[in-house]
Structure 1
Amino acid sequence: MKWLYIAASIAVFLKFMIMPNLAAEVADLEIVEMVVKESGVPNAVSGIIFRNRLYDTIFEVIVFTIAIMGAQYLLANEQPFHRIYQFTDQPSIVLARLGATIAAIVGVELAIRGHLSPGGGFAAGVAGGTAIGLVAITSSSEWMAAIYQRWRAAIWEKVSVLIFVVLSVLTLVGFELPHGELGALVSGGVMPLLNILVAIKVALGSWAAILIFIRYRGLL
């Protein structure tokens, strides 16, 4: 029986190597042009994520939300860590906060223009989360938590997910905003909104995770 498995594996491998791939007959450039035309945005990656594979993107956002909730649930019964490890020397603090400023600016730019150029909501959220993390390792944990509570970041995170899901469902059932002029800032229908919502979700979710690990682990 073992030899039968080996022979079958070799036959399948040869099939993949010898027989042509029918999908490869279409030129890559034609696929990109088709995605750009259908989505109305120059960034074909955004067109695929928020249109051709929007169903997958919905669950990616939901999985990220569940991951943050899971981290909070699993660590809720542990004792807060008494010692917080942070930068204390002034040069490191200055460099970290400078990096946070640059990351925040890049995050805003990617969220607004992600449908026009390389980048998008997920990259913008990561940049925003990086900025928050750099501030967190140079500032008081109590101060960071107070700002998080004052601006009701947890509520905005959940609201952004709900709005994203609603807009995604409307898009999946066939409702689309006008695409506008290709290459313009206000173009691509609902995609710029989805980009911004994902950026808000990922950045605020990263903030929540940072606060959780600082509180119960003492470091990021």
Structure 2
Amino acid sequence: MKWVYLVAGIALFVKMLIVANPEGEWTELSIVESIVTDSGVPNAVSGIIFRNRLYDTIFEVVVFSIAVLGVRFLLANEQPTENVYQFSDRPSIVLARLGATIAALVSIELAIRGHLSPGGGFAAGVAGGTAIGLIAITSSSEWMETIYTKWKAATIEKVSVLIFIILAVLTLIGWELPQGELGMLFSGGVIPLLNILVALKVALGSWAVILLFIRYRGLL
């Protein structure tokens, strides 16, 4: 049977080299222009994520929430570590906190203007999580947990997910905010709100995971 697989593999390879892939005719319709027109935002990727594929995006947010809960569950029965290794030299601390400041500003920019330029809620959340991680490796874990509790980050994270799901469901059943003028900050209907909610969820969820790994693994 090996020679059958070999012949089939060679035939497939030759087919990919010789036979051209069929191309669609899009002379009368531009998919990107259609998405931009329907969503009301210049960033077609945001239009797809929060409009054309909104049903999928809902479950992506839910999966991330389940991942955070899974980390809490798996580490619940372990003993907190006694040794937490962090940066102690001044140059590394200064560079890490400078990087955290830049990442935080980028996160805010991506969350607020993600529907107008490359970026969006998920990218903003990753940038925010990066900023939190850089602060975590230069600060005491007790201080990080105190801030996390003081500002009720866990509650805000859960509320952001709930509001996101409610707005997404309303959008799916046909309720939409006015799109506004294309290219302006207050445009795109509900998409900017969904961007901000996703950014909050991802950043705060990353913060929770970072604190758990520091407490039980001491990897930092």
Name 1:62's counterpart in structure 2: 62
Residue 139 of structure 2: aligned partner: 139
Q: Match of 2:99?
A: 99
Matched, 1:21 2:22: yes
Cα RMSD after superposing both structures: 2.2
Q: CA deviation at 1:21?
A: 3.4
Unaligned ranges ≥5, structure 1:
none
- Structure 2 Cα separation of the partners of residues 214 and 56 of structure 1: 32
Partner of 2:34: 34
TM-score by length of 2: 0.91
Describe the SS at the equivalent of 2:171: helix
Residue 113 of structure 1 aligns with an amino acid whose one-letter code is R
Matches within 5 A, 1:1-220: 3=4, 10=11, 14=15, 18=19, 20-21=21-22, 24-26=24-26, 30-220=30-220
Which amino acid is the alignment partner of residue 120 of structure 1? G
Structure 1 residue runs of 4 or more that deviate by more than 2 Å after TM superposition: 1-11, 13-22, 24-27
- Cα distance, 1:62 vs. partner? 0.5
In structure 1, the residue corresponding to 2:186 is in which secondary structure? coil
Report the Cα distance in structure 1 between the residues aligned to 2:10 and 2:173, rounded to whole angstroms: 42
Residue 193 of structure 1 deviates from its aligned partner by 0.1
State how far apart, in whole Å, the 1-side matches of 2:141 and 2:121 are. 27
Query: 1:158 deviation in Å?
Result: 0.6
Query: Aligned partners of 2:98, 2:20: CA distance in 1, in Å?
Result: 55
1:128-175 deviations in whole A, cap 9, x for unaligned?
101100100000100000111111111110110010011011111111
CA distance in 2, matches of 1:98, 1:200: 21
Structure-2 change in CA distance of 1:79 and 1:113 (3 Å): same
Inter-partner Cα distance in structure 1 for 2:67 and 2:203: 14
Three-state SS of the structure 2 residue aligned to 1:177 is coil
Q: Mark the CA change 1:123 to 1:6 in structure 2 (over 3 Å): closer, same or farther.
A: same
- In the superposition, the TM-score normalised over structure 1's length comes to 0.91
Q: How far apart are the structure 1 equivalents of 2:77 and 2:10?
A: 49
Quick one: distance in 2 between partners of 1:41 and 1:9? 46
Inter-partner Cα distance in structure 2 for 1:199 and 1:135? 18
Shift of residue 16 of structure 1? 11
* Secondary structure in 2 matching 1:48: helix
Residue identity opposite 1:159 in structure 2: V
SS of the residue 1:25 aligns to: coil
- For residues 16 and 194 of structure 1, the distance between their equivalents in structure 2, rounded to whole angstroms, comes to 44
CA distance in 2, matches of 1:211, 1:164: 24
Structure 1 residue 10 displacement after superposition:
4.9
